[in-house]
Structure 1
């Protein structure tokens, strides 16, 4: 092939440039949304509501809903699981706080909250757009899918809760003692230093 240069981007150069700029802008706004936890989840709830209304009015696409539900269950398990599974690290010793004499180690999730939110939102948006393609409207008896998903949820949660009890960890921060710098600074300023 004569006359073709490796450095020549060709007719797709503007498209590649636009994609790169869009990706940077998307990442910028995604990073800026990180501190707004409640607002992000309200947006996800709105996307989920729009998807549910679409499925309800179309009266179809139950297999997509089952797929989204199973995917969300998988994400939830990742959110509730520790990053380093104690069962897999039996040779290195426990990585979670299991005895009073052990050093305290904070709970680190396998799937952080931000990634859980992002994957959940993306799942509902993709599922919503899939409802516009009739190929995905597979005729199924939806009550059987619902019953199967409920059984899957119960068995999976039972296994996860048993794992939590066995290795004595709680994946939530609610109810745990919290130390703020403001309170410790105020209490230390009133006491004499040694």
Structure 2
């Protein structure tokens, strides 16, 4: 009996170590956004090649597309709905240039979006190896039309929502501010102020 308990404890320790090691390597990928999405695009390419090769499995693509659209809607939506924000607590999004800059907080972070989509692609590729998921009665053109209709309807709703509440979920590059430089009587001090103002922190 004690041997069984010791073996169970050893197995539990090994599984904890494997999960910890997996988490460490997963955390190392946080900063490598481009490489992460290139890996996911590779998985998508493999899935498409597999479905084209089988000439079946369009239902898997349909389910994956629906799931990805739901995640995309969460990724492009703010954490708190703008109508539910109290204007007195200072959390309202800025509406003009003179307002204080407040970052856009997503309902679903980029990393979680990538991680969930990547897992969905891996599961979809594995599903193509089981006959139960390969329905023969669905054809490719019908599924492609459905996918594009779903995408256009979802994106039009999200874009309307973004226009209505005046937010942009993407920020490309660093925001730069321009200001006037005051002249100084001391020339060395003026150069020092100029060098500080030119720095981008």
Q: Which residue of 2 aligns with 1:145?
A: 143
**Larger deviation: 61-70 or 103-112?**
103-112
Root mean square deviation of aligned Cα: 2.7
Deviation at 1:102, TM superposition (A): 4.5
Deviation at 1:99, TM superposition (A): 4.8
| Unpaired stretches in structure 2, ≥5 consecutive residues | 178-189, 197-201
Tell me the matched-pair count: 179
Query: Which one of the candidate residues 77, 80, 103 is aligned to 2:76?
Result: 80
Q: Distance in 1 between matches of 2:112 and 2:60?
A: 22
Query: Which one of the candidate residues 173, 188, 193 is aligned to 1:190?
Result: 193
Q: Relative to 1, partners in 2 of residues 1:162 and 1:11: Cα closer, same or farther, differing over 3 Å? A: same
Q: Relative to 1, partners in 2 of residues 1:171 and 1:137: Cα closer, same or farther, differing over 3 Å? A: same
Q: Distance in 2 between matches of 1:151 and 1:168?
A: 25
Matches within 5 A, 1:1-194: 9=5, 12-87=8-83, 89=84, 92-93=86-87, 95-99=92-96, 102-139=99-136, 140-174=138-172, 177-178=175-176, 189-191=192-194
**Larger deviation: 19-28 or 92-101?**
92-101
Q: Distance in 1 between matches of 2:195 and 2:26?
A: 47
Which structure has the bigger radius of gyration?
2
| Unpaired stretches in structure 1, ≥5 consecutive residues | 180-186
Deviation at 1:112, TM superposition (A): 1.1
Instruction: Judging by fraction of residues, say which structure has more helix.
Output: 2
**Larger deviation: 42-51 or 122-131?**
42-51
Length-normalised TM-score, structure 1: 0.80
For 2:104, what is the secondary structure of its paired residue? coil
